[in-house]
């Protein structure tokens, strides 16, 4: 349902909360639209005309800044999302929980004034460390950008805000029910986080310690047919069918790796199977370090 009504004050405050890069926005299909981002751009999103995503990072006096951060829990795990929210609350930061468009949740934090992108990112990473939950999708995803880079955008909540038939892309209240747009905007503006607190919490983040794993023979010299012969029936089903609707690719690849190990396969045979699955599921194979990521997965499973 598309609403042609406008709410100028709400639209302007919504745009201020989610402001970011002003020369491009993200499309619904996953592309970059190189057009100016104006108040009308946000208004059309809210009215159900054109859904947008915003690139959080913009330059100010030579430094990359942002006024919001967003942690993306890309699985249907409300307990994980609430644990991140609670970690932030305990530190004095008010955050907002959104049910995303497909599965999973976004946790949004808004700053009173622009803060360095690295500070917003590290504060959210620190919250993940406190909650002991992996930080797979924390935005901003970069701390700095090259002149020709845009970074990553996040799709905004309240697409077609007047549609009350859905809880997708809506900020949830304490009762986990969708919060009306006007109520959310009022609360979010009033509870933005001071920049000094973001900087203080960012300083508490510590990069995870990287321990060199034991060396394994991962020379993939076995063919797929031979490798599959020794795989358990469950492993073959996982390899064949891929992630279930409520599971992401990372956890499914990990499950497949454990099935390979339980089946008594060698690390190199397991790598052959996982590499084939990854090529079909599209997790690592297009990355420049994709082969290394699979090696790390196999090593992690076989050295536990």
Residue 264 has pLDDT above 60, yes or no: yes
Shared domain check, 269 and 140: no
Q: What is the pLDDT of residue 4?
A: 40
Which residues in 88-199 belong to E strands, given as ranges? Answer: 96-99, 105-116, 138-139, 154-155, 170-172
The CATH number of the domain holding residue 172 is 3.90.920
The two structure tokens encoding residue 117:
């992108």
pLDDT digits (tens, 9 = 90+) for 12-49: 999 999 999 999 999 999 999 999 999 999 999 999 99
Shared domain check, 241 and 134: no
Provide the whole-model pTM: 0.70
Count Cβ neighbours within 10 Å for each residue of 179-215 and write b for 16 or more, e otherwise.
bebeebbeebeeebbebebbbebbeebeeeeeeeeee
Residue 75 and residue 104 in contact, taking contact as beta carbons nearer than 8 Å:
yes
Shared domain check, 158 and 242: no
Shared domain check, 161 and 63: yes
Place of tokens 């307990």: 79
Shared domain check, 250 and 167: no
pLDDT bucket at 5, cuts 50 / 70 / 90: very low
Shared domain check, 294 and 252: yes
Establish if 214 belongs to a structural domain. no
Shared domain check, 149 and 29: yes
Residue 114 has pLDDT above 80, yes or no: yes
Residue 300 has pLDDT above 50, yes or no: yes
Q: How many structural domains are present in the chain?
A: 2
Shared domain check, 127 and 54: yes
Shared domain check, 115 and 81: yes
Residue 248 has pLDDT above 50, yes or no: yes
Establish if 104 belongs to a structural domain. yes
Give the pLDDT mean for 191-205. Answer: 97
Establish if 3 belongs to a structural domain. no
Shared domain check, 143 and 21: yes
Establish if 2 belongs to a structural domain. no
Place of tokens 């919490």: 201
Which residues in the chain belong to E strands, given as ranges? Answer: 25-26, 32-33, 53-54, 58-60, 63-73, 96-99, 105-116, 138-139, 154-155, 170-172
Establish if 186 belongs to a structural domain. yes
Cα 210 to its chain centre, rounded Å, is 22
Establish if 219 belongs to a structural domain. no
Instruction: Find the domain containing 120 and state its range.
Output: 8-202
pLDDT bucket at 70, cuts 50 / 70 / 90: very high
Which DSSP string do the residues of 106-135 spell out, in sequence order?
A: EEEEEEEEEEEHHHHHHHHHHHHHHHT---
The secondary structure element, H or E, covering residue 271 is helix 267-281
């Amino acid at each position: 349902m598309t609403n042609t009504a406008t709410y100028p004050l709400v639209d302007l405050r919504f745009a201020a909360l989610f402001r970011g890069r002003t020369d491009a926005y993200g499309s619904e299909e996953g592309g970059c639209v190189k057009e100016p981002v104006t108040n009308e751009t946000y208004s059309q999103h809210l009215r159900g005309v054109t859904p947008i995503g915003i690139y959080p990072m913009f330059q100010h006096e030579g430094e990359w800044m942002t006024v919001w951060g967003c942690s993306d829990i890309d699985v249907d795990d409300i307990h994980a999302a609430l644990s991140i929210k609670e970690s932030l609350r305990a530190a004095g930061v008010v955050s907002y929980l959104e049910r995303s468009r497909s599965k999973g949740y976004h946790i949004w934090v808004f700053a009173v004034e622009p803060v360095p992108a690295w500070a917003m990112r590290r504060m959210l990473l620190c919250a993940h460390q406190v909650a002991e939950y992996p930080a797979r999708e924390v935005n901003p995803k970069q701390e700095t950008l090259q002149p020709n880079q845009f970074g990553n955008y996040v799709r905004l909540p309240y697409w077609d805000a007047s549609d009350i038939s859905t809880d997708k892309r809506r900020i949830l209240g304490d009762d986990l029910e969708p919060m009306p747009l006007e109520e959310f905007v009022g609360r979010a503006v009033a509870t933005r986080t001071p920049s000094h607190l973001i900087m203080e919490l960012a300083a508490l983040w510590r990069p995870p310690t990287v321990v060199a794993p034991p060396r394994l023979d991962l020379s993939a010299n076995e063919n797929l047919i031979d490798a599959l012969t020794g795989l358990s029936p469950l492993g073959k089903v996982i390899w064949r069918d891929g992630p279930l609707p409520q599971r992401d690719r990372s956890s499914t690849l990990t499950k497949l790796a454990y099935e390979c190990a339980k089946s008594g396969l060698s690390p190199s045979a397991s790598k052959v199977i996982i590499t084939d699955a990854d090529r079909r599921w599209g997790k690592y194979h297009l990355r420049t370090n994709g082969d290394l990521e699979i090696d790390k997965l196999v090593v992690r499973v076989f050295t536990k």
